[in-house]
Amino acid sequence: MTNRRFLPLLAAGAMLLASAWSHAAGGGALQSAGNDLGDQASLQRGAQLFTNYCAGCHSLKYLRYSRMAEDLGLSEEQVQSSLNFSGAAFGEHITTPMPPAAEKWFGKLPPDLSLVARVRGNDWLYTYLLSFYQDEQAVLGWNNQLFPDVAMPNALWELQGLQRPVYAPQPDQSGNPQVVGVQLAAPGAMEPAQFKQAARDITNFLAYAAEPAALKRQTLGVWVILFLVVFTLLAWMLKREYWKDVH
């Protein structure tokens, strides 16, 4: 009986946390990634984009090249020639070619992204990739609406183009300009819809990298359901046979 008193409080707390998470870092509502781990072509494109634009700084230390090749339907030659720029062997983990001296350059090494999709969530990651804008006041010249004062440049700016912030008419409580959105100021190599798909592909690939076993579970799930259907049918037929002479 006592525990029931806390149920409304727990529900309210969960709603508050969900609201706070969706507005994390003052960046507003998250956009839906709509990713699909069953879309192998998306995973392959995401792997290509990640290795071309992100792997120079970020590693995936819990994922091996060989496992990625098996799961994404790629050959060893394809992986080693197009996705492996670190010089690692095919059976080794996905590391970054960034030298150890980079820690002195940046103050600390860029984080490993093996679990970023699980920690942050797919929608957060997708929105983050779309939310970079130019900021002359920032050290690196870039900022992010979802993650203010982010300490990294927009690695995808050539594809996305250059975005400028959209400010609210009134400053925030501290008197600072309030960024309420971003708008494209100069086009990139991709149309906006194409870039959104590229961001979705990267998100999809990082969601896979965070839990490669999820692909296996999806495959096994189909067979488990089929087994249960057949087992239920056999059980019903057996019951019917046993009870047909019982009046």
Binding-site residue ranges: 54, 57-58
Comparing CA positions, the residue from 26, 88, 21, 30 lying closest to residue 61 is 88
Binding residues for heme c: 54, 57-58
Positive or negative torsion for Cα 47, 48, 54, 60: positive
- DSSP-assigned letter for residue 212: T
Query: In whole angstroms, what is the distance from residue 172 CA to residue 178 CA?
Result: 6
Please tell me the distance from the alpha carbon of residue 244 to that of residue 247, in angstroms, as a whole number: 8
| Cα 165 to Cα 162: distance, rounded to the nearest angstrom | 10
Selection from 18, 30, 35 nearest residue 211 by Cα: 35
Phi-psi domain of 141 (left: phi exceeds 0; alpha: psi -120 through 50; beta: other): left
Contacts of 64-69 with CB under 8 Å at 24 or more apart are 64/91, 64/92, 64/93, 64/94, 65/89, 65/90, 65/91, 65/92, 65/93, 65/94, 66/90, 66/91, 67/212, 68/94, 68/209, 68/212
DSSP 31: P
